[in-house]
Every structure is written in structure tokens, then in C-alpha cells.
Amino acid sequence: MPLTDIVAKNAKPREKLYKLADGDGMFLSVRPNGGKYWQMKYRFGGKEKTLSFGVYDEVSLKEARDKREVARKLLRDGVDPSENKKEIKREILIKTENSFEAIAREWHEKQTPGWTPRHADYTIKRLEADIFPSIGYRPINEIKAPELLAVVRIVENRGAVDIAHRVLQTTGQIFRYAIVTGRAERDISSDLKGALKVVKRKHFSSLPESELPGFLQKLEAYDGDLQTKLALKLLTLTFVRTTELRGMKWAEIDYNKKEWRIPAERMKMRDPHIVPLSKQALEIIEQLKPISGHLELVFPNRSKPMNYMSENTMLFAMYRMGYRSQATPHGLRATFSTIANEQGFSSDVIERQLAHAERNKVRASYNHAQYLPDRRAMMQWWGDYLDRALQGGGNVVEGKLDHEE
């Protein structure tokens, strides 16, 4: 006699396991611990086997009967239901392991040692926000170009055109990683070349030479936070990237050699960088000691000393000085470059001190000390040049070192 929901529900555990039959080989197995399991006995290839359909009441009586009918159809077709169930599990497992998200996280883990913590965190958060919700669960080899385009279009349509391009670039790197690890056949992101809007590049505003004396005088008169003022002064003297200055550590300063050595992991190009320190730069560093000399960072965040100074701190200080839309901290690099090139310094020396990309990566790994004597002379010339510019009178180029000898 077939089971009913009431009988199944009211079945109580006994000292030993017992079964309540429903017909066609299916029964409810009631365990001494109270567990109830739907199972089915069948024969295949001359052997008796047992197939499980799940736990009662997570699987209802009706659902168990539906599964029994599927199993009976497989048997009629000459297929072993147990082996079929295992094969389905294997396929699900393969698809899960080969999902875009699984491979992307694996790729991210492989890349992280070569990235800054900030870039690694940004990359995974961008994927989690813009890619994984839409196609993260999909087997990577089944994703088609129009499907990927629809995802990056969402980012583009909210006005984040630059981020959309970055997301597409990142997905391309993930697809190429999947190809070399044998889980994808081609990089479909290449099919989307030209599909997104063109990014309008914003150039960092820089000061022309004629306006530099006025800027230095305003900076000297700046009455805001002293640490911020000194940060802008040191940035002007060293023209490093703002992220490199904000992450500056006391341990990176070599007072004997008068150098600031920035490790590779904090540099954009992932090569170590030497910044010769002029006497003016060393004076700024001495003024910073009473403020942060007891901490690890030279420019700590005021509210969270273990973190860097905010990326907008120096920018807002320049706004306060009257340079909104006229100049940025990063633009000081271009100001230096323009003036140094006009004064005849070697472009190789200037580019090396700016830590711009070296096309030959083998050569780049040995380049951190390249042209160092010339760079020392140039950095001291620049410090003296800024002193004369601050005074605002006469020829600011007067007294230039004969750097070409």
C-alpha cells in the first residue's frame, strides 16, 4: 500500500532501522536517531543497488516519487541511475571549478604577490561589484562575447567609461589565464575591441615656469596643517608620484647617502627607485621629525596613524591656495620635467629620476641606480632653483650647475 504524508510524518524511530514501502522499489528508511531517508532498491546488470533521493521532509513524498519515475525511465533506457547521478555531480563540480569567478579568483591570487595591496584590493572589488554578479557562476568556456559586452555596458552606461575599459582589460587577462591553464579556448574580450566609448584622457594640470614663483610664495604662506604644507614642499622638491610620497617611511631614508630608497612594491613600475635628497629636501624631513618621527610613516593619516595621508589632502590644500582647475600635485612632475629639459639636462637622466617605464624589463631591473651622480647634481640644482624662484627676483636659472661635464 502506498505511503501517505501523514504516515511518513508520524513515523517514529525505533531501536533498529526499519523501512516503510511506497511501491516500485521506493521506501522511507527510518533510522534509530530519527533521521528519515528516501531510498529505492533496483537491479542493474544482475546486481542489487540502492539509490538515495534525499532526506524527509526536505524532499517531500511527491518529489521522491518524481525522482523514482526518472530513475525508472533511466533503467528502461539501459542507464544505471546511480552512475548517472554521479556523472551529473561530476559535471556540476567541473562547471563550478571552471566558473569565471573561480578562475578569476585563482588568477587574482597568482598575481597578488606582484601588485601593491591597494591595486590587488581594487581589482578584486571591481570584479565582485561589476562582473561576478552577472557571469561569475558561468563556466568560462561557455561565455560569449555579447554576454560579456552586456556586462561591461552596464558599467559604461553609468558614466564610468574608464572603469568599463579597465574591467574589459581585466577580463581579458583572466580569459588568457584560463587558456594557458586549459580551461578556455580563446579570449573573447578581444572581440569587443572598439565596442566601448573612447575614454577622454584628463591630463594633470601643471604650472608653467612663469607661475612657479607665485605658487612657492603661496605655499610658504600656507596657514593650514603643517604636515600637509611640508608634504607639498617635499613633493615639489622630489616630484615623485603622490602615492609614493604618501607611503614614505622613515626606514627608507638613508641619511649618510642622502637618499630616499623606495622599494619596488610601492612603485608604479615595480622597480626600486632612488631619490637623491637635496639639502632643501633634508631640511623638510628634519621639520617632519617632531610630527611623525615616532611613527613608521612620514606622512600618516591624522585620525589613523597606521594609514597613509589621504590621497586628496594635498589636492585640497592646492585648492585652498587658489589652484582649483589650474594645477594638481601630480602636475608638479610635468613642471619639473619641462623646466629641466629646457635647461639642458639629459632626457635620460630626467626620465630615470621620474621613474618612467623602461621598455626593456631586464634592463629596468638594474636601472634604479642608473645616472645616479648626474641625478644627484640635478636634484640639488632643482632645490637651489626653487629657492631662487621663491625669492621671485632676478634670473632663477642663475647659478645652474654645469651638469653636462
Q: Which residues contact 177 (CB under 8 A, 6 or more apart)?
A: 103, 106, 107, 110
Q: How far apart are CA 157 and CA 196, in angstroms?
A: 10
For every residue of 360-379, DSSP letters joined together read SHHHHTTGGGTTHHHHHHHH
Q: In the annotation, is 31 catalytic? A: no
Q: In the annotation, is 36 catalytic? A: no
Q: In the annotation, is 366 catalytic? A: yes
- Which is catalytic among the residues 85, 218, 268, 368? 268
- Which is catalytic among the residues 333, 375, 376, 403? 333
Q: Which residues contact 201 (CB under 8 A, 6 or more apart)?
A: none
- Which is catalytic among the residues 67, 233, 241, 403? 241
Residue bearing cell 533503467: 75
Q: In the annotation, is 268 catalytic? A: yes
- Which is catalytic among the residues 86, 158, 324, 356? 356
- Which is catalytic among the residues 330, 352, 376, 388? 330
Do residues 273 and 358 lie in contact, with contact meaning Cβ atoms separated by under 8 Å? Answer: no
Q: How far apart are CA 315 and CA 57, in angstroms?
A: 63
Q: What angle do CA 277, 296, 290 make, to 5 degrees?
A: 70
CA dist list (Å): 244 to 42, 112, 239, 276, 298: 70, 19, 10, 15, 11
Do residues 284 and 234 lie in contact, with contact meaning Cβ atoms separated by under 8 Å? Answer: yes
Helix, strand, coil % in the chain, rounded to nearest 5: 55, 10, 35
Residue 235: is it exposed, middle or buried by C-beta count within 10 angstroms (0-12/13-18/19+)? buried
CB environment 183-201: b (16+ within 10 A), e (fewer): bbeebbbeebeebbeeeee
Q: In the annotation, is 361 catalytic? A: no
Q: How far apart are CA 291 and CA 298, in angstroms?
A: 8
The residues annotated as belonging to the active site are 241, 268, 330, 333, 356, 366
